[in-house]
Amino acid sequence: MMKNYVEIESQEALRAVVERHHTLRHYAFQHVDFSAEPLSEECEFEDCIFMGCVMPLSMQERLSPTCYLFPSMQKPYMLFPPELYSAATLYRGYDPADEESFKMCYDTRVYSHYVASGKQARDIGETLARSLHDHSISDALHDLLSRYDERAVVAVMGGHALSREDQGYTEVARLAKMLTEQGKLMVSGGGPGAMEATHLGAWMAGRTDEELREAIGTLSAAPRFEDRGWLALSFEVMRRYPRDERYCSIGIPTWFYGHEPATPFASHIAKYFDNSVREDGLLAIAKGGVIYSPGSAGTMQEVFQDAAQNHYKTFGFASPMVFLGREHWTQTMPVYPLLESLQAQGKYRNLLLSIVDTAEEAASKILEFK
C-alpha cells in the first residue's frame, strides 16, 4: 500500500529532517529554501516532490530521476502557498488609515491579474498556475480540517447583500458565536453579508454578548461592502477585540467574485481561483450541518446541491439542513415546503430538515446532531 508523502512546508521542518536523515525518500517539499540549509547538500533524495522551492543548481543535478521538480512561475500570486491565507497575508499592503492602499494590496493585485488574464483564461501557463495554486490551497485546507472531528465543521450559507444594520446579520453572528464556543468550526463562502457575520461571531467567541453588539455597532457605520470604510472598520474591530486563539473559522472565497472583498474576520482564508472547486468543497466539508440564512439565487443553488449530497449520502451520512427565517423560506422563497413535499413523495431521502427563527433554535438543531 502506497504511503502518503511526508510534507515539509517550513524552513524549521526542513532543517529538522536534513539533520536526521542522509537519504530522504517519499517527501514533498513546499516553498522552502534549500540554499539556506547547508546540510541538504549532503543528502540524497529519492521519490521526492519539490514545489516552488529555492534549490542550488548542484543539488538539482544530483536529484534522482524518481524526483519531481516544480519550479515557480512568474505570477503575482504564490503557486504553492504552504498554508491558508489570513487577513495579514491576503491584505498585505493595505493600510486601514489609507482607503486608497486597498488598490495595492496582495488580494487586489491578484484579482487585477485574474481579470486581465481572463476569468476563463485560455493561456495554458495561466491555467496551470491557477490549478497549482488551488491544489496547494486544498492541501492546506485539509491539513487544518484534520485537526477537527468531521462533524464539528458547520457551514452558514446566505446572501452577500445582508447589511450590517439588519437584525438577520446580528442573528447569524450570535449563532456563529454560540456554536464556536461549543467547539464547532464555522465555515462560509468568506465574503460580506451573512458570510461576514459568521466569521465575526466566531472572532468574538469567548467575549460577552454586549461586546458583540458593540462590535456590530462599530461596523454599522459602513453597512454594505460597497460603502467607504467597510474594510477599515473590520480591521478596527479586530484591533479593539483581539481573537481568542482557541477559536478559529475558515472563509472560502474566490477571485471569481473578487469584486466582493473577503472578510478579514475569518482566521483562515482558503481563497480559490476555480469557483466550482470552491463551491463543491465548501458543502463537502460541512459534515456537521449547513445553516441557510436568507439569500437569493446563489443560496438556492447551494440548498439543492446540499440536498443531493444528503439524498445520496455522498460522504457516508446525511447532515442537518437548518433554515433560519420561517417567513423567508416558506413565503419569500418557499423552498422549505418544496423540500418537505419532495421528501414525503420519496423524491428526496435522508434530508434532516428543520426551520427556525432564532439563533438559539438553530444552534440547538446543530448541537442535537450526533
SS (H, E, C) the chain: CCCCCEEECCHHHHHHHHHHCCEEECEEEECCEHHHCHHHHHCEEECCEEECCECCHHHHHHCCCCCEEECCCCCCCCCCCCCCECHHHHCCCCECCEHHHHHHCHHHHHHHHHHHHCCCCCCHHHHHHHHHHHHHHHHHHHHHHCCCCHHHEEEEECCCCCCCCCHHHHHHHHHHHHHHHCCCEEEECCCCCHHHHHHHHHHCCCCCHHHHHHHHHHHCCCCCCCCCCHHHHHHHHHHHCCCCCCCCEEECCEHHHCCCCCCCCCCEECCECCHHHHHHHHHHHCCCCEEECCCCHHHHHHHHHHHHHHHHCCCCCCCEEEEECHHHHHHHCCHHHHHHHHHHCCCCCCCEEEEECCHHHHHHHHHHCC
Question: Quick check: 156 pLDDT over 90?
Answer: yes
For the segment(s) 150-368, the CATH number from 2.40.30.20, 3.40.50.450, 1.20.1260.10, 3.40.50.720 is 3.40.50.450
* Spatial contact of 202 and 274, defined as CB atoms under 8 Å apart: no
What would the pLDDT profile of 174-196 be if each residue is shown by its tens digit? Answer: 999 999 999 999 999 999 999 99
Domain ranges for the chain: 6-70, 150-368
What would the pLDDT profile of 82-106 be if each residue is shown by its tens digit? Answer: 999 999 999 999 999 999 999 999 9
Question: Quick check: 1 pLDDT over 90?
Answer: no
Predicted local confidence at residue 2, as pLDDT: 61
Predicted local confidence at residue 3, as pLDDT: 72
Q: Which of 303, 276, 279 has the alpha carbon at shortest distance from 291?
A: 303
Question: Quick check: 131 pLDDT over 80?
Answer: yes
What does the alpha-carbon distance between residue 276 and residue 257 come to, in Å, rounded to a whole number?
Answer: 12
Question: Quick check: 164 pLDDT over 70?
Answer: yes
Annotate 349-370 with b (16+ C-beta within 10 A) or e (fewer). Answer: eebebbbbeebeebbebbbebe
What would the pLDDT profile of 217-241 be if each residue is shown by its tens digit? Answer: 999 999 999 999 999 999 999 999 9
pLDDT above 70 as % of the chain: 99
Question: Quick check: 71 pLDDT over 90?
Answer: no
What does the alpha-carbon distance between residue 273 and residue 161 come to, in Å, rounded to a whole number?
Answer: 22
* Spatial contact of 277 and 138, defined as CB atoms under 8 Å apart: yes
What would the pLDDT profile of 17-35 be if each residue is shown by its tens digit? Answer: 999 999 999 999 999 999 9
Q: Report CA 178 to chain centroid distance, whole Å.
A: 20
Q: Which amino acid is at 251?
A: G
Predicted local confidence at residue 59, as pLDDT: 93
What would the pLDDT profile of 314-347 be if each residue is shown by its tens digit? Answer: 999 999 999 999 999 999 999 999 999 999 999 9
What would the pLDDT profile of 338-359 be if each residue is shown by its tens digit? Answer: 999 999 999 999 999 999 999 9
pTM (predicted TM-score): 0.95
Evaluated on CA atoms 103, 266, 174, 259, the torsion sign reads positive
Predicted local confidence at residue 264, as pLDDT: 98
What would the pLDDT profile of 262-283 be if each residue is shown by its tens digit? Answer: 999 999 999 999 998 898 889 9
Neighbours of 97 (CB within 10 A): 8
